[in-house]
Amino acid sequence: MSEQHSIPVSVVILTLNEEINVADCIDSCSELGDVHVLDSGSTDRTRELGEAHGATVWNNPFESFGAQRNWAIDNITVDHDWILHLDADERVTPELVKALRELFKSDPTEAGFYLPNKLMLMGRWLKRCGGYPTYQMRLFHRDRMRFQDYGHGQRELTDGEIGTINEPYLHYAFSKGVSDWLGKHNRYSTEEANQAIQAGTHVGLGDLFSSDRIRRRRALKRMSFRLPMRDKLRVIQLLILQGGILEGRAGLMYARLIAIYERMTNVKYRLLRRGTSGFESDLLRRSSVDETATED
């Protein structure tokens, strides 16, 4: 990688057995220069490929997304105070690089920035049913951001204002196949069901009508657990209300997969609400092991 980069951003990529993705992810960050791979104990060629493509490779056992991101902040020696976090199935675009270059022409006062992503399936962007734009905290100042586990992901803890960058990165969530996606979402459904039980379904008007889109989306998610036939309503939302049916086979496949995920979450949520038997508890426990390291 060239040593001359005008964008003061270091990149951290989370990996576990990502030999399919890691090289392309690193290569997409070539304009940023300082790239690190934080691996969780891969048994394939992830680490080897990471080093071959110019990244510095680190290792830390995976506990949760929040813990892994905090470990990166505390332990990885980066060149810059600003960190862009990616998963291996995500790609930085030339347009995003341009937006970052423009941002750092001055010194940002924000603690971090939300970025949207474009969900890719079967070679196309799911513009309608892929939830665009859904914003994630991905760019932040390392001294002003921490992460707390929440559901199957994390939420940010910061002492400052959060800004928004509207230029998206690409998310190839199905790059390792549908079976891998279903395996991860089996675990995610357990974590989401547990989070829903802990948080409850009560939603205040302040959350529901908040100007903060992240706060509003989380409130709607909590409220959705009150709805009957939640998985079927989700399909109607994706295909009809959001127009996913216009996205052809990719839209139909995505709606079916999301319906499976919602159904798994519903079953586990209802088991937890009524109090599980030993057998049912074992099912919930088994569904939450061994799948780690990339976020939906």
Maximum CA extent, the chain:
60
Go through the chain and tell me how many residues it has.
296
The answer to whether residue 292 scores a pLDDT higher than 70 is: no
Write the DSSP symbol of residue 290: S
- Of the ranges 55-64, 222-231, 267-276, which is most confident? 55-64
* CATH 3.10.580.10 at 9-171, yes or no: no
- Residue 274 belongs to what H/E stretch? helix 248-274
The token pair that represents 34 in the structure block: 């300082």
Per-position DSSP letters for 201-237, written without gaps between them? S---HHHHT-S-HHHHHHHHHHHHTTSTTHHHHHHHI
Q: At what angle do helices 178-199 and 248-274 cross, to 10 degrees?
A: 40
Q: Is the Cβ–Cβ distance between 160 and 111 less than 8 Å?
A: yes
At 280, is the secondary structure helix, strand, or coil?
helix
221-224 contact pairs (CB < 8 A, 24+): 222/196
- Pairwise pLDDT comparison (257 vs 207), residue with the higher score: 257
Geometric angle at alpha carbon 49, from 46 and 52, rounded to 5°: 150
Confidence of residue 284 (pLDDT cuts 50, 70, 90): low
Task: Quote the pLDDT of residue 289.
Answer: 45
Q: Could you give the CA distance from residue 231 to residue 266 in angstroms, rounded to a whole number?
A: 8
The token pair that represents 48 in the structure block: 């080897």
Condensed to tens digits (0 to 9), the pLDDT of residues 188-223 reads 999 888 888 887 766 666 666 677 766 776 666 767
Task: Quote the pLDDT of residue 41.
Answer: 98
Give the pairing of strands 153-158 and 145-150: antiparallel
Ranges of CATH 3.90.550.10 domains, the chain? 9-171
- Is the bond into 133 cis (omega within 30 degrees of 0)? yes
Q: Is the Cβ–Cβ distance between 86 and 170 less than 8 Å?
A: no
Task: Quote the pLDDT of residue 5.
Answer: 61
Q: Could you give the CA distance from residue 154 to residue 273 in angstroms, rounded to a whole number?
A: 23
Q: Is 177 exposed, middle or buried (0-12, 13-18, 19+ CB in 10 A)?
A: exposed
